[in-house]
Amino acid sequence: MVTANTELGYNSKIEGDVIVSRADAVINWIRTNSMWPMPMGLACCAIELMAVGGARFDIARFGAEVMRFSPRQSDCMIVAGTVTYKMAPHVRRIYDQMAAPKWVIAMGACASSGGMYRSYATLQGVDRILPVDVYVSGCPPRPEALLDALMKLQAKIKREPSTGRLFSA
């Protein structure tokens, strides 16, 4: 509970129980440890994404275990799989429906660059329709690699101004 602590202002002998910080640092600290993913599982990479959610790799250790299938409640879209041109407009629309601030992880070769699908049907990298924060290499990436990407994203968020993303597209 927050109470007005008038003593803090003048008592130089006060010790403990008081933390002074920047608002940015506090907000970003809160955000990094509760990032609810939007599991955009579109192909085989989604299987590894499920493994990350399972007990062995346990994405809950990083506060990101609450996979939200509603874009309104999620913070971080994990694009796990091959994005076809038919699916691409829907991926973008779901991203648009997520509330700011929001982040994107492109998981695997397909989401990052189109992967081995150099063809008429496949979007050549999800960064052509979304702003991607972290790319993960691999086909599919190991679950550890996705956890690493999540930690990289957390490190990135900690460096950001906390209000910078509030009104971004």
Enumerate binding residues for other proteins (CB under 8 A): 85-86, 88-89, 92-93, 96, 114, 117-124, 128-129
Euclidean distance between CA atoms 20 and 23, whole angstroms: 9
Based on the shown chain and the rule CB under 6 A, indicate whether residue 82 belongs to the binding site for ligand SF4.
yes
Site stretch for ligand SF4 (CB under 6 A), options 41-49, 63-71, 91-99, 124-132:
41-49
- Minimum CB separation from ligand SF4 for residue 20, in Å? 45
Q: Which does 143 bind (CB under 5 to 8 A by kind): ligand SF4, other proteins, none?
A: none
By a kind-dependent CB cut-off of 5 to 8 A, residue 129 interacts, out of ligand SF4, other proteins, none, with: other proteins
Q: Which of 4, 9, 66 has the alpha carbon at shortest distance from 35? A: 66
109 binds ligand SF4 (CB under 6 A): yes
Which residue type occupies 149? A
Closest-CA residue to 109 (of 51, 59, 43): 43
Q: Cα–Cα distance between 99 and 168 in angstroms, integer? A: 10
The binding site for ligand SF4 (CB under 6 A) comprises 43-45, 81-82, 108-110, 115, 139-140
